[in-house]
Structure 1
């Protein structure tokens, strides 16, 4: 064996040892995160399914196995279906509202000629950084019928003859909560769109301008086709965020008035930890069944959205190949 071959063999042995050692240390450093994930994510998920088969208040040793009894009771529970419907309002109405408005604002702020663009981005993003509970408490004062700023402005301009009960009227409360939640999280969706807009090559805009396209034409024929795959991802993320409205609703209305803002998270919380007005005890087992049911519905919606995203991506690839063959 020559000196060169011997040196290469030593390098291979040293390199293999280094890679094995590095891999082992990577697993060692990942171990704490894996343990915490198992303790605070996977274990509660598994135990939720176990508790969903029990009749249990959560704070005693009196636990009775009922099998699918809690799920059968859910199917006939009007309060459960009403709460699920309100959560779907947040998804089906709040998602397109926030995604659409955020896209319009992002396209405007992405223009190079737009002055104070950074200042406006910061202004829109500030509510995202604030605590949802604080936002909820502040908005109860802002929307108050007793000298609240919004009602004062409506009365001063003559748009309302009497104070508007934004949070006390069962017909208005859910929509008010939806708008406040949309405003609070608007900035993060706008940032998603701004990040997606950065992927559009500047050369495409220049070529379109040479062809005589105006600003509207650039948006329609250059920006939107490229943003389509990102749009599906942003819709999924926004829909997921719209299902997490517990903190802001709890701070503003606590699910009232007359349960008109009780979404699924509020329903599960009340059932699990709060005794009802009739003197009933908390029902952690029944709440676990509601949580498992809601989680399954959410998972199915996510799978459908991912399937649609995959189909759209495949269609785009086919169109790209067709254009290439035509060229």
Structure 2
């Protein structure tokens, strides 16, 4: 063992900066969160009281926490199906080599992905504004509404509005995933399908999708994990409002830890407990992704064989 370490000592030396940064910004915060989750601490003084699992017990009986958790699930269920469906349709269309300017369309769809989330949030806040906002102006001109709609100021429309912006923002990356999956389908499969007069939707449903199923499972779960990490977009657009209607898990954790603007006392230990629970949810999805992808890959091999 020591001989191997000595032989590859320069390789490990090259890995050292990454390990240091990973320890500082990944591993240490994880262990620190678990440690603080077992303490009653505001985060602004040195008085930490060990409460063990007390924060978790309070958390599981806190209706405000479960409301935020429910909104996070609603956001996930609202974004992932839309994102997956629309991006798949676009990928199938843009994967056609006979389509002119497909590269241009891919670039335009992918452009919001590389745009900073804060910029996206600010721009869409302006676009959806009931006061001379372009979206309301267009809907009024078309006669679809009789008066301006406060998309981000109403509890009925805020969540669908944020979901729509999120899907538009990340549609490009999901489309790229689908394009990569579609390009793994052998050309002879398409040729055989043409000979059997299998085209259009039937070709996608009965031939293409079963082959790219492992990719579909992975893309779905990656999109689900991404939908749970929506803090910057919601903070820049609604700050969790109005009346907590868009407060998802990350906003709840942030507000509990720093008590921004509601007059309550910061509870860093309680927020850490919520963060640990939320981390386990994301970890469960990641493990589920690995298991489901492996099973789907085995099923795709049987179909090809």
In structure 2, distance between residues paired with 1:20 and 1:285? 41
Which has the larger Rg? 1
- Say if 2:293 is the partner of 1:295: no
Q: 2:240·2:248 contact (CA, 8 Å) conserved in 1? A: yes
Deviations 1:143-199 (A, max 9, x none): 000110010011111100011110000111011111111111110000111111111
Deviations 1:225-284 (A, max 9, x none): 21111001101111111111111110011000000000111110111112452x322111
* Structure 1 residue 295, shift from structure 2 partner: 1.0
What corresponds to 1:173 in structure 2?
Answer: 158
The structure-2 alpha-carbon separation of the partners of 1:63 and 1:134, relative to structure 1 and needing over 3 Å to count, comes to: same
- Say if 2:246 is the partner of 1:239: no
- Say if 2:44 is the partner of 1:59: yes
**Mapping for residues 96-115 of structure 1, pairs under 5 Å:** 96-115=81-100
In structure 2, distance between residues paired with 1:48 and 1:258? 28
TM-score, normalised to structure 2, is: 0.94
In structure 2, distance between residues paired with 1:77 and 1:124? 41
What corresponds to 1:6 in structure 2?
Answer: none
- Say if 2:262 is the partner of 1:284: no
Unaligned runs of 5+ in 1: 1-16
Which of residues 201, 204, 212 is equivalent to 1:227? 212
Aligned to 2:49, the other structure's residue is in SS state strand
Paired residues, what number?
303
The structure-2 alpha-carbon separation of the partners of 1:102 and 1:275, relative to structure 1 and needing over 3 Å to count, comes to: closer
* Structure 1 residue 35, shift from structure 2 partner: 1.3
Aligned to 1:171, the other structure's residue is in SS state coil
In structure 2, distance between residues paired with 1:250 and 1:115? 39
What corresponds to 1:91 in structure 2?
Answer: 76
Q: 1:275·1:281 contact (CA, 8 Å) conserved in 2? A: no
* Structure 1 residue 21, shift from structure 2 partner: 6.9
In structure 2, distance between residues paired with 1:113 and 1:176? 35
Between 217-226 and 57-66, the greater mean CA deviation after superposition: 217-226
Cα RMSD after superposing both structures: 1.8
Aligned to 1:285, the other structure's residue is in SS state helix
* Structure 1 residue 317, shift from structure 2 partner: 4.0
* Structure 1 residue 319, shift from structure 2 partner: 5.2
In structure 2, distance between residues paired with 1:170 and 1:22? 63
What corresponds to 1:11 in structure 2?
Answer: none
TM-score, normalised to structure 1, is: 0.88
Which of residues 58, 61, 64 is equivalent to 1:79? 64
The structure-2 alpha-carbon separation of the partners of 1:311 and 1:275, relative to structure 1 and needing over 3 Å to count, comes to: same
In structure 1, distance between residues paired with 2:253 and 2:66? 12
Aligned to 2:148, the other structure's residue is in SS state coil
- Say if 2:167 is the partner of 1:163: no
What corresponds to 1:206 in structure 2?
Answer: 191
Q: 1:174·1:260 contact (CA, 8 Å) conserved in 2? A: yes
What corresponds to 1:271 in structure 2?
Answer: 256
In structure 1, distance between residues paired with 2:40 and 2:290? 36
Aligned to 1:144, the other structure's residue is in SS state coil
User: Runs in 1 of length 4+ with deviation above 6 angstroms?
Assistant: 19-22
